[in-house]
Amino acid sequence: MRNLIGSSIKDLENVALNYGQAAYRGRQIYNWIYNYKNKKKNIDQIEVLPLDFRKKLKDDGFMISELSLQEKNLANDGTLKLLLSTGDNESIESVGIPTEKRLTACLSSQIGCPMDCKFCATGKEGLKRSLKASEILDQILFIENEMNRKVTNIVFMGMGEPLLNIDDLLLSIRSINEDFQISQRKITVSTVAVPKMINKLSEKSFQILGNCQFTLAISLHASNQITREAIIPSAKNYDINNIVKDCKKFVRDTGRRVSFEYLMLSGVNDQLEHADELSNLLKGFQCHVNLIQYNQIDEVEFKRVSLKNLQLFQSRLSMNGIAVSLRKSRGLDKNAACGQLRQNARSK
pLDDT tens digits, residue range 221-280? Answer: 999 999 999 999 999 999 999 999 999 999 999 999 999 999 999 999 999 999 999 999
User: Is 93 part of the annotated catalytic residue set?
Assistant: yes
What is the phi/psi pair of residue 105, to 5°?
-100, 120
Nearest alpha carbon to residue 6 among 71, 72, 62: 62
User: Is 338 part of the annotated catalytic residue set?
Assistant: yes
User: What is the domain partition of the chain in residue ranges?
Assistant: 2-63, 68-346
Catalytic residue of the set 47, 66, 93, 178: 93
Domain 68-346, CATH number (from 3.20.20.70, 3.90.1150.10, 3.30.70.1400, 3.30.200.20): 3.20.20.70
Q: Looking at residue 296, what is its pLDDT?
A: 73
Give the 3-state secondary structure of the chain. Answer: CEECCCCCHHHHHHHHHHCCCCHHHHHHHHHHHHCCCCCCCCHHHCCCCCHHHHHHHHHCCEECCCCEEEEEEECCCCCEEEEEECCCCCEEEEEEEECCCCEEEECCCEEECCCCCCCCCHHHHCEEEECCHHHHHHHHHHHHHHHCCCCCEEEECCCCCHHHHHHHHHHHHHHHHHCCCCCHHHEEEEECCCCCHHHHHHHHHHHHCCCCCCEEEEECCCCCHHHHHHHCHHHHHCCHHHHHHHHHHHHHHHCCCEEEEEEEECCCCCCHHHHHHHHHHHCCCCEEEEEEECCCCCCCCCCECCHHHHHHHHHHHHHCCCCEEEECCCCHHHCCCCCHHHHHHHCC
Burial 199-209 (b: 16+ CB within 10 A, else e): eebbebbeeeb
Nearest alpha carbon to residue 323 among 283, 276, 265: 283
Residues of the chain with pLDDT under 70: 1, 298-300, 329-348
CA distance 288 to 117: 22
Q: Looking at residue 87, what is its pLDDT?
A: 92
**Could you count the other beta carbons within 10 Å of the beta carbon of residue 193?**
25
2-63 and 68-346: same fold? Answer: no
Catalytic residue of the set 106, 117, 287, 338: 338
Beta bridge partners of 95: 81, 106
Q: Looking at residue 299, what is its pLDDT?
A: 63
Please report, as a single letter, which amino acid is at residue 328. K
- For 2-63, CATH gives 1.10.150.530
CA distance 53 to 65: 18
